[in-house]
Amino acid sequence: MNNDAMTTHLSPNQSLETDSSAQESPMPNNVLNNDEPDNQEMMDEQEIMDEHTDALDNDDLLEEDSDIDEALDDGDMDEGDDDEAPVAGQAVPVVVDITHIVTEDQSGLRVDKVASQMFADFSRVQLQGWITDGSLLYNGSVQKPKVRVKADDVLHLSTTLQQHSEDQPENIDIDVVYEDDDVLVINKPVGMVVHPGAGNQTGTLVNALLYHYPQQHHLPRAGLVHRIDKDTSGLLLIGKTKPAQMALMEQLKDKSVYRHYQCVVAGDQASLLRHRRIDAPIGRHRTQRTKMTVMTAGREAVTHLLNVTPLNDNYCLLDVGLETGRTHQIRVHLSHVTHPLVGDRVYGGRRQLRAGLTEAQRQAISNFPRQALHAYTLGFVHPTTGEDIEVTTPLPEDMQQLIAVLSDGYNDE
């Protein structure tokens, strides 16, 4: 656990209060209604999960594309007592052994209905298959899914999950800044790709998650809800159960998840304040297919500059909020208004260098190895408790050093 990270818990009806840089955030934070009708079709859940898997592969629900530089497109579970750690290239079976005693409130319900309530990590299709094949026993015997249960009856699920993808667990350290039974928030370091893709089959956050949380093998992308670029640092939201992941996905769609970034950009304060709200559609560049660009035929993209802090006459630290989440959105929008991020070789180029720099400042900008962008605040409604949760993490050391060099002597009189 990162002691520098901060987490705020608020009641569902209490508004989030952040620092002055975030008070103008346009992003809502409404409590998600997770009530599920009793007659919901089994395929509904699967369709949502399929849509989410496609989204992670095709740039929907994304803040930044995690592999755009490498490819065009992109419970009580027993983990065993074996001290031998899994290695990359080996699937890790997850043993599930759970018992539930039927309550008075559940008396009269079908076996499959109770199972879907109590073993919510798994789809109804999985559970019905386990009822049929004997992995899920009712009072010690195999029964049909439609059998009605009585209070104090016993449901026992015993099975072994096999990995559903080619992604393999790897013993890679991860910085957990928030965790409970349903949700995980990770502070991703610079240089880590979020999930495997062309050119990045190993060393990703998903590989790390599968090692540290092997029970998440059955979740799409190990529970990921969104992603950020390889060279962007900061917070990522992950569901630890299927219901949590689905609820958080829906929150991202309805914009009740909010995300604040800090970035260092080329531009003076007065000029940047003229672009407090950047509303410009973004699509893939017609000829340079690894780049995104502002285009009429693109998808809606809205970025808010919540606070502009001058570092010197020509560079500022921005607090940025995303209303939408398009690939490379912050980088593309700020470049579009002629104020690119420091270190952004794709969208910044020579425009990063402005007049009036000392030699030390010029070198700091020219040598900064990645876009100076950090996802520092993440807010969401807890999918189980309904609480408003806000997690923050400080700027990484490389950005702090860059800011120190650029602001050196600026306020001295």
* Active site residue ranges: 229
Residues with Cβ within 8 Å of residue 211, at least 6 apart in sequence? 85, 86, 169, 170, 171, 172
Contact 29, 406 (CB under 8 A): no
Closest listed residue to residue 268, CA positions, set 236, 225, 314: 314
Contact 330, 324 (CB under 8 A): no
Closest listed residue to residue 135, CA positions, set 115, 163, 159: 159
- C-alpha dihedral sign at 221, 45, 213, 387: positive
For residue 170, give the H/E element and its range: none
Strands 77-78 and 94-101, bridge-based pairing: antiparallel
Question: Where are the alpha helices (H) located in 101-257, listed in sequence order?
Answer: 111-118, 124-133, 205-212, 242-254
d(CA 263, CA 304): 13
Q: Which two tokens stand for residue 94?
A: 């997850």
167 — phi, psi (to 5°)?
-65, 135
Residue 64 vs residues 31, 80, 207, 346, 397: alpha-carbon distances, Å: 25, 36, 19, 13, 21
Contact 290, 67 (CB under 8 A): no
d(CA 343, CA 358): 17
Q: How long is the chain? A: 413
d(CA 54, CA 73): 11
Contact 216, 240 (CB under 8 A): yes
DSSP 229-248: -TT-EEEEEEESSHHHHHHH
